[in-house]
Amino acid sequence: MVDFHSHILPEIDDGAQSIEESLEMLRMLKAQGVNTVCLTPHYLAMDESPDEFLARREESYQKLKSAIDESGEEFPKLLLGAEVFYYPGICRMEELSKLTLQGTDLLLLEMPSCKWNEFTLREIEELYNNTGIRIVIAHIERYLDFQHKSTLERLFKGGVITQVNASFFISKRTRRKALKMFKLSHIGFIGTDCHNTKYRPPRMNEALQIIRDCKKIPEQVIADYIKNLEYEINNSF
């Protein structure tokens, strides 16, 4: 299983604040059957250039890698990525492709929590039509209520991929909606979006168990989700 969205890299954003915390989060995910973890720290274009961000990410990753090597323990495979915050003009950002998930053409994009206007929608379309980058909208469940149904259909048709958080399934308030989306194969990736071990810990196993326990979801839909996930992560390039 893959955790597509996490803030495990140490001391780089509002996620893990120490190497020990990073290691503990990885141990938790391993115990939950996760074998690949996408490391997706926040990227804000107004704060730094992609190269500055990548240098910070590399430094953080090397610290974590040394600690992993020293520990002698087995940890999930790690893939470097970013959670890029949308801003008007993003489709003209030349170095955006540097922020795609390692070994793939997938860019995890965090959107503003409001109704997306025509300009924003055109920018997303321009990104996936003209840049060779495929857009994965991070935790799309946060934005669903703000958007017209036709907006989402338009994005799906255009090839935009959705990522939802494990909490979308775990919360009793949103579970029905999450399972319905999963059944319709409208969910590309599930991520924990974990930030720490206490308040926003990784809870992938709970989400997966809820999906497996749902009698309305055919086995084949689950098998297809896993097959697609593995294809995207292992065979993109």
Q: Is the dihedral of CA 183, 147, 190, 94 positive or negative?
A: positive
Q: Is the separation of the CB atoms in 63 and 18 below 8 Å?
A: no
Nearer CB in complex with Fe ion: 82/133: 82
Tell me the window of 11-19, 58-66, 172-180, 189-197 that interacts with Fe ion (CB under 5 A): 189-197
Nearer CB in complex with Fe ion: 96/111: 111
Tell me the window of 114-122, 146-154, 185-193, 213-221 that interacts with Fe ion (CB under 5 A): 185-193
Q: Is the separation of the CB atoms in 141 and 166 below 8 Å?
A: no
Rounded to a whole number of angstroms, the minimum distance from the CB of residue 53 to Fe ion is: 15
Residues with Cβ within 8 Å of 18's Cβ and at least 6 positions away in sequence, in order, are 10, 11
Q: Is the dihedral of CA 46, 47, 49, 50 positive or negative?
A: negative
Is residue 83 a contact residue for Fe ion (CB under 5 A)?
A: yes
* Chain residues 54-73 in contact with Fe ion, contact rule CB under 5 A: none
Rounded to a whole number of angstroms, the minimum distance from the CB of residue 187 to Fe ion is: 16
Is residue 193 a contact residue for Fe ion (CB under 5 A)?
A: yes
Tell me the window of 21-29, 74-82, 83-91, 122-130 that interacts with Fe ion (CB under 5 A): 83-91
Q: Is the dihedral of CA 15, 142, 207, 181 positive or negative?
A: negative
Phi, psi of 106 (to 5 degrees): -95, 125
Rounded to a whole number of angstroms, the minimum distance from the CB of residue 25 to Fe ion is: 13
Residues that bind Fe ion (CB under 5 A): 83, 193
